[in-house]
Amino acid sequence: MTQDRPAMAQRGDARYTWDDTIAAVGQDFSGGKDHTAQETIESTAVARYCEVWEIGNPVYWYKDVAKQAGYRGVVAPWSSFQQTFTYNSFWRPGPPTRFPVGTNINAMTSNATPPGEEERSVPTPPTTQGIVTDIQIEFFEPVCVGDRLITRGNKLVSVRVRETRIGYGAFMNRETEFYNQRGQLGARMNRGGFSSNAGQKAPAGRGS
């Protein structure tokens, strides 16, 4: 049995042009709110992460070895920083169910953003497709067992309007920082994406 692919969802707002997006460079679209991970990093969680990838560095496993190497305790691998230990769960006691009565068994569950935690949208014209292009992370303070990570900021740092083989749109990069509970900067992430309309050409005079 074949299943039709859903139509590409459109994003953006017809009130804006790419010039509005460029003018927004430097603005923070996080809404000014920090997002604190819902769990403190535990040694068991670090071990489970390392086990899957067979990461055998002893500073990720043994507290005494980590301290001898100059760390505060068992270290969390850098690769776990951005998603694993900044995790915010899909559901906790209190919010409504993600499986309302009557939901089709094959339907996607609802992952609505909790009230008051919405981020401002970057002003962009309508687009129908988007891809992740690059992620760069610069590390500062090591993350250790006992830390609880805080995600801060969603700053638009660059916009480059281009016509490519897949369509006309803009490459955009955003910057986010991660802190521990003591306010020490752990890492700074720059992530890039390309938003465009499939097959669209650049307007006359815009260039490529």
The whole-number pLDDT of residue 111 equals 52
Number of domains in the chain: 1
Tell me which residues of the chain have a pLDDT lower than 50.
Answer: 1-8
Say what the pTM is: 0.82
The whole-number pLDDT of residue 64 equals 98
| Residue 104 belongs to a domain | no
Longest dimension (CA), the chain: 65
Query: Which strands, in side-by-side order, build the sheet including 185-198?
Result: 35-36, 150-164, 167-179, 185-198, 129-139
| Residue 99 belongs to a domain | no
Calpha distance 75→178 (Å, rounded): 16
The whole-number pLDDT of residue 110 equals 54
Q: Please answer whether residues 24 and 122 qualify as being in contact, where contact means their C-beta atoms are separated by less than 8 angstroms.
A: yes
CATH, residue 138: 3.10.129.10
Helices (H), ranges, the chain: 18-23, 43-53, 63-68
Range of the domain at 55: 18-92+119-198
The whole-number pLDDT of residue 165 equals 94
